[in-house]
Structure 1
Amino acid sequence: MKIVQIGTGGWGKNHARVLSELGVLSAICDTDAQRSKEFGEKHSVNHYKSLEEMLTSEEFDGAFVVTPTSTHADIAKKLLEAKKHVFVEKPLTYKTEEGEELAKLAEKNKVILTCGYIERFNPAVGVVKNLVKEKKYGELIMLEFHRENRMPLHIKDVGIIYDTSVHDIDTANWLFDEMPNVVFARTGQIKHEHEDFATIMLGYKDNKVAIITSNWITPKRIRKFYAICNDARISSDFITQEIKVEKQEEIENIENEKQEPLLVEIQSFLDAIEGKSKHIVTAQQAVNVSKIAEAALLSSQKGVPIYLDLK
């Protein structure tokens, strides 16, 4: 299998590393000719400055789009039109109508379009998903997510909702196994051009709720989530992948095998291309996350809940 990568910025260097380790990386493309050459030589693959040049010169099966959000729609469209399988780093697109157009194009050309919501592939989230599915501690009633850190230097074109909160929106949808019907959010700006702190409440049927708190203000990196069930509170850390279950009289630590989520995510995409696995974020799920992010921004601007009707 041959996979190409477009974009080698802050997070993209990790994709290139994993794809190279898996032996599938065949070419690199970056508008910064120096970076393209540097990564091409580092991983011993061809390198290009333009997507058009790569499309005419390279034979490949799939592509990773790891570029600024504002460029996703245009790049992904060209790749899908060339009937290539496409992995777009999150969020799929900034405008939901662009995401819907890409989803239709992928379906028409019978290729895979997926999006990089990496926490689904975090082993800790997988364990919690199984505990919830088995109803080991009763029904899942409430989810809480906390993400704190300084703003990543490579993020320029979106605020914290589209860059950070979207991870937890997707994880909440996946753990509840449904889409929310209402969004309420408050956001603000302290140090940055776009919103740099946000609290989002997602309402699901039967009064189930997810509360997502993110900020680029505090210096310490925190990535935690809590799943409140009828009979227990499950807490986990996205970074350490540790899981703890607190019941009325006892605390239980759940053992799980730690893995690099990005490696699991990329391998799942490669397996999907070969027809071995269906564990990927579907294009429609990625479009829905963008719709929810859009609604959260609108809610924060208007100060009212936004009601949704998602597929």
Structure 2
Amino acid sequence: MVSTTTPGAAPLRAGLIGLGAMGRHHARVLRELDGLELVAIADAGGDPHGVAGSLEVLPDVEGLIAAGVDVAVVAVPTAAHEETCLALASAGVHVLVEKPVAASTEAGRRLVVAFDEAGLVGAVGHIERYNPALQQLRARIEQGELGDVFQVATRREGPFPARIADVGVVKDLATHDIDSTAWVSRSRYERVAAETVHRSGRPHEDMVTATARLSGGIAVSHIVNWLSPAKQRVTIVTGERGAFVADTLTADLTFYANGVVRTEWESVAAFRGVAEGDVTRYAIPKREPLRTELEAFRDAVLGRSAQHVSLAEGLATLEVAEAMLASAAAGRTVELGG
């Protein structure tokens, strides 16, 4: 494992496999980050977005390993995650793999074991965790600004992404919300119930509506689809002092406070609920989430911090996603292990 470096040390030699929709962005950011040098890229399908520059496009992971990389980003289709990551682990390479961590929980567990036994950093690209709005939301909840958290509701909708062919909307999109919900609330999923819809003629589901319960009694709902012309990415966290609304498309965070003005209108005052209070939209720094994510991976490899999404966390998210699919198939609530 690469140890913590000192000022002036050589940058980590970085490799990238998969030059599709996400891979092209990884290539750009890897070239821009201090402490990393993109030295090798690979994709059996070539370079559709023209990001290789002066680098040879290698055909496979073996070519990437032969280039002598210290770290690698894996942005190949989900079905190839396990084989690709295991090859890199065997070669002593630290890996950030795009979400979901693997095609199945069994494959995900094998990756966790392989990287743990090799003493390597394995990270998962749950990029929404690095969205400025959600990072601010988690920090403000941690500081007690919301009080106790009662409910998390997410809505993630938009047109069908032609790049996705091997998984459905649950493993592709809902995993964003599963990971960010557990992370923001610092809670784990205890049970989940879901309904899926198949409308596009593909073998995988296009829509899911799910409800869940987190540790501590937090109620959760997720609405996810890729058949809507209106793109939405919203997370609402409601607690004892009001509600936070995070729009991750614009990276905006707004707080709707419970009212504190006492009403003298008897029929309204008798209602034991909340009233409208102040509304605040925060001015927050807006850094590119992918840059923040790759910096966290680099720093984990260098032993500076542990702000990456670990393989174990990615596996926990995948377990919830598979529980959603099992619930929809069986028509019942699925309990998750502690």
Q: Is TM-score (shorter-chain normalized) higher than 0.5?
A: yes
Instruction: Return the alpha-carbon distance in structure 2 between the equivalents of residues 7 and 137 of structure 1.
Output: 41
Q: In structure 2, what is the equivalent of residue 4 of structure 1?
A: 15
Q: Are the equivalent residues in 1 in contact too, given 2:191–2:334 (CA < 8 A)?
A: yes
**Does the 8 Å CA contact 1:27/1:45 hold for their aligned counterparts?**
yes
SS at match of 2:224: strand
Select 1:27's aligned residue among 30, 40, 43. 40
**In structure 2, the residue corresponding to 1:275 is in which secondary structure?**
coil
**In structure 1, C-alpha distance between the alignment counterparts of 2:86 and 2:206, rounded to whole Å:** 30
Task: Report how far residue 24 of structure 1 moved.
Answer: 2.0
TM-score, scaled to structure 1: 0.95
Contact preservation (8 Å) 1:26, 1:46: no
Partners of 1:46 and 1:230 in 2: CA distance: 56
**Could you say what secondary structure the match of 1:165 adopts?**
helix
Aligned to 1:64: 73
Whole-angstrom distance in 2 between the partners of 1:300 and 1:219: 24
Please report the RMSD computed on the Cα atoms of aligned residues, expressed in angstroms.
1.3
Aligned residue number for residue 305 of structure 1: 333
Give the Cα separation in 2 of the matches to 1:221 and 1:76. 32
> Segments of 4+ in structure 1 off by > 6 A?
none
Which residues in structure 2 correspond to 1:226-265 (within 5 Å)? 226-247=236-257, 248=259, 249-265=277-293
Q: Which amino acid aligns with 1:195?
A: E
Structure 1 segment 1-311 matched on structure 2, within 5 A: 1-22=12-33, 24-33=37-46, 35=48, 38-40=50-52, 42=53, 44-56=54-66, 58-193=67-202, 194-247=204-257, 248=259, 249-310=277-338
SS at match of 1:24: strand
Give per-residue Cα distances to partners, 1:214-238, cap 9 Å, x unaligned: 1111112111111101111110110
8 A contact 2:187–2:216 mirrored in 1: no
What percent identity do the matched residue pairs reach?
A: 28
Contact 1:3-1:24 at 8 Å conserved across structures: yes
Deviation string 1:11-51 (CA, Å, 9 cap, x unpaired) is: 21111111122252111100013549x432x2x33420122
State the one-letter code of the partner of 2:23.
Answer: G
- State the secondary structure of the residue aligned to 1:296: helix
With the length of structure 2 as denominator, give the TM-score of the two structures: 0.88
Q: 1:192/1:21 Cα in 2 relative to 1: closer, same or farther (>3 Å)?
A: farther
Aligned residues: 306
Query: What do the CA deviations read for 1:57-97 (whole angstroms, capped 9, x no partner)?
Result: x1111011101101100100000111110100000001111
Q: SS at 1:5's partner residue? A: strand
| Contact 1:245 1:251 survives alignment (8 Å) | yes
> Which has the larger helix fraction?
1
Query: Higher mean Cα deviation, 46-55 or 208-217?
Result: 46-55
